[in-house]
Structure 1
């Protein structure tokens, strides 16, 4: 959820006014207004004429109680046309050859048909499909796998609409805001599309808090040097990405949510799916959609991620321009990177040709390390971590070494981080895996290191105190290999414990699953946490253990990140990767936890206990009698 902008004092006192040039006038003084200020002030302006206010109220009433219901019914008719064939073909799931334990060829055909119709139904249903794909605790895994591959098939809205949104936000023509603006979108999503542009330096100079002033050793092709207000040269990064909501996106989503709510209430009458509590799930989905329809929320998320990772060289998030962002438009720093998919394909090619991978292990480690920091340190996790939202850049660590920097300045030969050139070299040979392999090897010899850039932060997971405590208790039970207690905790703290089918059997099944993990751990192989979580979600669904959505999203994110990491490094061990993060966290929080344990005995240092166990596991891995010692422990 975004932080609501603070209303300036002059607005609350009634002295505000926005003139025709979109400047804020206070008394006799005039100040250039940013889009966020314009939006804030205009939202509070009320006509001085009573007749106009009465007319506006009548128009709002007609729109809300006459026009909207008619348009909602028309939308409902369109949805019926799309999904009645889906309902009619349900019996086909009982036919066909058996595949696995749950599915038949008929089932898989029906899942594909459902995915196709959801894609045709528009942005809300595309987002719904992506959300269903994340709820492997509620829906069959084969269905989730198909829906997870569903991408937006929305036609781009016309550039004329984008121009209208931007000019209204800035209160001036496009050519007074940007020196360049490519009318062809970089990407088109379900609810918005993105463009690349270059801001005029003067726009940034008037708002110092939004300046992308760069370090002296990070010059890029998007950098310009201009004179600041004090006459000193200032380096600005002027390339921005502009995200603009599709026209009428809010109205369409609102109508779809009303229809979904009514349908969910009707479906709840079916006894076999009562445990899903579909109205509650639709409400949660609706809240998620509404957050994404206000682009100020994404700007706020970017700001928080930048604060958390400000000291990291190998993890980066684009910087947002909050003052230039509104509900319908987001401006953020444009990042020129290499799609992670390119490295995933190259890793597969390298294994097929028995070639040593370059950078793959480091990229996998950086990604998992970033995720673990989000989860353990900050409790603020990017909730949409698929490969399309991760890019790879390069940088030279030597350009940031304090001693080298000092010496280079002393002799007048400053170090330059030319990471952008490395990106361009890779993109130039991306179609030829042989040339790409050679170029990666050359970059490695030249001392380059990879940096991951995470984009599209509209969705985040942030566990509340209760869910975080439940998560830590569960993690502790797993770390202690107490499978039965793990199952009991999941049942006790789920949303509807009274609807769980055979809770004792569920706990026993969890015990068997954790015992399998324990045996793998004794052999000190790379424990596949994703497999464990995958099996757990299977059991959760079959026993109707309804978990909190945020908790499940964390589980799914863990599975997804480990899956991506293993494509780059088949021997990846999430527990081993967690050790450095847990060490840092334990050093940082150890004293605080100790004091809490004295004051509140029930406040346990869960992460610290997990850290101690993993350190023991890591230490015993170097000894020959590892299994015997671990069993004794």
Structure 2
């Protein structure tokens, strides 16, 4: 951290204290975490350490609360106890004064608060580390929710990100854990996520995109942003009146048909992930409300995920492999999705994936959350040296939240059955999407380019064939090394044959009686024996010492 700036010295000190405080915990040691039982003394101790880490992150402010929330989606980095503790992280902050709210809204919208809104409640509905939400009413009588960014939070977050970047690069360069987990890469992902949350124009755009993508699901509702009243620091959207899914009574669920709501919610998320490639990545029960007209409202789109078309294909196959209990295929698609490290052991990885999928296959439908299986696959991959894209862990956390919400809406829901049930529809939608005019036009243009360049390429190949200029590159064993090895073997065999000939010759000369004797035996025969013995010693010395180099 030689590059640390003096203005970040205090923050570096606080982060270093955090690392030292938790450096000897199971968070860093990471040994045998999969064997720790929650109710055991070791499990309770780990849970206490995890809660301590969560409290320390909360004390460091908004940047570190968001970092903890991001880490709660990374089972490839942290054990389950830490994931649970960090997932419960929330902002313990007081709302900032209404006078500052008025100032920010007026400067962002360019008009006084009283001119833009007919009513604007001074007491916020909720206050968080990045901003707070007020209920208001527009001049046209529409009820809206206005999210206002906390003053000075962007500057503080940027300073924290710079300090974290210094720490991450230092750990990557000087520690084995840094080289294994690439903290700088993780923090760059975190930087992008936090900066998206600080840009309310982007969040408004996410609302528009999600509303369009879910227009075919009548039981789901996404509030629309009011674009004329939205800037990078102020987000105005439709106000949603509803009840958190966690607070619904069984009687209410019977009245609104929780079974159909659960099925539509799962189908909508499968479409988001596997067709649209854009999904609401934080559907925890607090962000899903049951509205007064019996729909499910998705709110707070600060955290979203993107999936590329290639990854969508592999993810669909992976989900089907897990839900159908096909371990070999699940391992294959994990390997296709990931990037193996040097220490990756494919045989051990496939064996452990088979054990994991077998556990899910042997469980009952009520005990088989597909989200949990995906999270365990992400953790298992990291343990075996396979680096999976972070989107997979985010997907697993999203599916785990869906498991929880789906069971609250319908206690008999089977997420695996829902995945299989909607897989055919997803494949059909992907096929239709691939046949869209844009994709067809792109394919026509690529075919046109191939047809235009094909004669030139064929001529070039034929010219090289005619001029004997075609070279085939084969990545094989270095022939010099191979020849040295062959020559060494040939020399050993030749020397062994000569020694054998000396011994046989000496044995035959033993039968010839001469006056020249050594040690009481025919002299010439003994010379041959001695030469063979000396040659044998030299050959053994060369084999034992020189061949090790």
Structure 1 position 303 matched with structure 2 position 208: yes
Residue of structure 2 equivalent to 1:257: 161
Deviations, residues 554-613 of structure 1 (Å, cap 9, x unaligned): 12111221122223333211233245644444454556769999x99xxxxxxxxxxxxx
Q: Is the 8 A contact 2:320 2:419 kept in 1?
A: no
Residue of structure 1 equivalent to 2:69: 130
Deviation at 1:308, TM superposition (A): 1.6
Structure 1: distance between partners of 2:300 and 2:66: 14
Q: Is the 8 A contact 2:277 2:309 kept in 1?
A: no
Residue of structure 2 equivalent to 1:507: 350
**For the structure 1 residues 464 and 258, does the alpha-carbon distance in structure 2 shift closer, same or farther, using more than 3 Å as the test?**
same
Residue of structure 2 equivalent to 1:365: 263
Q: Which one of the candidate residues 64, 73, 76 is aligned to 2:9?
A: 73
The secondary structure found in structure 2 opposite 1:134 is: coil
Structure 2: distance between partners of 1:257 and 1:592: 39
Deviation at 1:372, TM superposition (A): 2.0
The secondary structure found in structure 2 opposite 1:112 is: helix
For these two proteins, the number of residue pairs brought into alignment is 431
Structure 2: distance between partners of 1:265 and 1:92: 17
Q: Is the 8 A contact 1:126 1:152 kept in 2?
A: yes
Deviation at 1:511, TM superposition (A): 1.9
Segments of structure 2 that go 5 or more residues without pairing to the other structure are 444-549
Deviation at 1:249, TM superposition (A): 1.2
Deviations, residues 405-452 of structure 1 (Å, cap 9, x unaligned): xxxxxxxxxxxxxxxxxxxxxxxxxxxxxxxxxxxxxxxxxxxxx200
Deviation at 1:539, TM superposition (A): 1.9
Structure (1 or 2) with the larger CA radius of gyration: 2
Q: Is the 8 A contact 2:171 2:177 kept in 1?
A: no
**For the structure 1 residues 69 and 566, does the alpha-carbon distance in structure 2 shift closer, same or farther, using more than 3 Å as the test?**
same
Residue of structure 1 equivalent to 2:381: 540
Residue of structure 2 equivalent to 1:245: 149
Residue of structure 1 equivalent to 2:225: 320
Q: Which one of the candidate residues 175, 193, 211 is aligned to 1:270?
A: 175
Alignment of 1:426-441 (within 5 A): none
Q: Which moved more, 1:588-597 or 1:101-110?
A: 588-597
Q: Is the 8 A contact 1:130 1:148 kept in 2?
A: yes
Structure 1: distance between partners of 2:26 and 2:433: 56
Deviation at 1:317, TM superposition (A): 0.5
Residue of structure 2 equivalent to 1:197: 136
Structure 2: distance between partners of 1:592 and 1:80: 50
Deviation at 1:534, TM superposition (A): 4.4
Residue of structure 2 equivalent to 1:393: 291
Structure 1 length-normalised TM = 0.62
Q: Which one of the candidate residues 391, 394, 415 is aligned to 1:553?
A: 394
The secondary structure found in structure 1 opposite 2:387 is: coil
Deviation at 1:279, TM superposition (A): 0.7
Deviation at 1:473, TM superposition (A): 4.2
**For the structure 1 residues 543 and 89, does the alpha-carbon distance in structure 2 shift closer, same or farther, using more than 3 Å as the test?**
closer
Residue of structure 1 equivalent to 2:237: 332
Q: Is the 8 A contact 2:73 2:394 kept in 1?
A: yes
Structure 2 length-normalised TM = 0.70
Q: Is the 8 A contact 2:322 2:370 kept in 1?
A: no
Structure 2: distance between partners of 1:532 and 1:473: 14
Residue of structure 1 equivalent to 2:472: none
Deviation at 1:92, TM superposition (A): 12
Residue of structure 2 equivalent to 1:115: 54
Q: Is the 8 A contact 1:300 1:322 kept in 2?
A: no
Structure 1: distance between partners of 2:336 and 2:211: 37
Q: Which one of the candidate residues 483, 490, 494 is aligned to 2:338?
A: 494
Structure 2: distance between partners of 1:76 and 1:182: 40
Higher percent of residues as helix: 2
Deviation at 1:340, TM superposition (A): 1.7
Q: Is the 8 A contact 1:526 1:571 kept in 2?
A: no
Alignment of 1:12-161 (within 5 A): 69-80=5-16, 84-87=20-23, 99-100=37-38, 103-161=42-100
Structure 2: distance between partners of 1:485 and 1:573: 22
**For the structure 1 residues 566 and 89, does the alpha-carbon distance in structure 2 shift closer, same or farther, using more than 3 Å as the test?**
closer
